[in-house]
């Protein structure tokens, strides 16, 4: 891919905007498509991107298509539209967090049409997306990975091939299980502490800087004790979606899902309470409220 192929980008949202910005600024011909929010699209056009009216328009003019969508239903819809367009697409790079079972099925459909599907989900936040320092875990054959790696290097500071197609989305779900498990654990620990005279500030003074500290803990507590509403821009409804995928994968694999199901239920509860659009660290307030512990009014 040293000849800078034409790239289509579907899903220029919180993460996708920065990724697309880095691709067009690296000199790749870029075509984007608006959804609900035109602000990122207008910014990308000002930077040199073109706009297509629909997925078919992107499929007709682009050799590579990036997807950065909410989940498997949206990915399946986009891939079906690309296949139906019978355009010039040779490679689809799906950076969404999706269900690996769906991913593998889509890869087979794409292969039958002469298209290579690579799952390349992301770790980190919109800040790193804008800076081009995301972590990418890619599922692809060694040959396909070598072809797409120059593009992934534009959007990421760390790119790891984790296995064949579907392995990227599997690893992403495992990554999110660990981080969302931390969120559930912190929230319950804070609620127990709050009920027994240990404030979040005292909790943080003990855990922060110790062996249990980590980058995720710091962003989580930047909201809890720092009051930063944008400390971790990841919606609770997306956390619930990712944990549903993880529990489904565990069940299909015959793995007892005691812990993952419990974590999933925290986020299912948050979304059932109408809090799905709130960002991840606010789960601490929800757990506190459900247990009668004073906290922020949400």
Tell me which residue of 197, 211, 204 sits closest to 281, measured CA to CA.
Answer: 204
Distance CA 193, CA 185 (A): 12
Output the CA angle 166-19-230, nearest 5 degrees: 100
Orientation of helix 283-290 relative to helix 167-195, angle to 10°? 40
Which residues participate in catalysis according to the annotation? 172
Is there a contact between 42 and 17 (Cβ–Cβ < 8 Å)? no
Q: CA 258 to CA 128: how far, in whole Å?
A: 33
The string of DSSP letters for 156-209 reads EEEEEEEESTTHHHHHHHHHHHHHHHHHHHHHHHHHHHHHTT--HHHHHHHHTT
């Amino acid at each position: 891919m040293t000849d800078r192929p034409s790239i289509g980008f579907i899903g220029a949202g919180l993460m996708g905007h920065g990724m697309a910005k880095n691709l067009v600024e690296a000199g790749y011909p870029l075509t984007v498509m608006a959804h609900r929010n035109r602000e990122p699209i207008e910014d990308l056009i000002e930077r040199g991107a073109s706009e297509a009216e629909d997925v078919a328009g992107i499929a007709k003019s682009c050799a590579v298509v990036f997807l950065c969508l909410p989940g498997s239903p949206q990915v399946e819809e986009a891939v079906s539209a690309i296949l139906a367009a019978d355009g010039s697409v040779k490679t689809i790079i799906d950076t969404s967090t999706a269900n690996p079972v769906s991913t593998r099925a889509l890869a087979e459909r794409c292969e039958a049409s002469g298209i290579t599907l690579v799952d390349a989900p992301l770790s980190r936040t919109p800040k790193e997306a804008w800076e081009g320092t995301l972590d990418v875990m890619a599922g692809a054959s060694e040959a396909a990975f070598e072809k797409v790696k120059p593009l992934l290097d534009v959007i990421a500071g760390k790119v790891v091939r984790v296995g064949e197609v579907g392995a990227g989305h599997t690893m992403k779900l495992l990554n999110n299980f660990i981080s969302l498990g931390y969120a559930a654990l912190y929230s319950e620990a804070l609620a127990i502490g709050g009920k027994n005279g240990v404030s979040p500030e005292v909790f943080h003074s003990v855990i922060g800087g110790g062996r249990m500290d980590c980058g995720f803990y710091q962003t989580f507590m930047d909201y809890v004790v720092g009051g930063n509403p944008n400390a971790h821009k990841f919606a609770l409804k997306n956390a619930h979606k990712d944990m549903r995928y993880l529990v489904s994968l565990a069940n299909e694999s015959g793995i007892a899902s005691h812990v993952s199901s419990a974590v999933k239920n925290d986020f299912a509860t948050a979304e059932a309470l109408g809090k799905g659009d709130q960002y991840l660290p606010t789960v601490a307030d929800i757990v506190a409220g459900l247990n009668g512990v004073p906290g922020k009014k949400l």
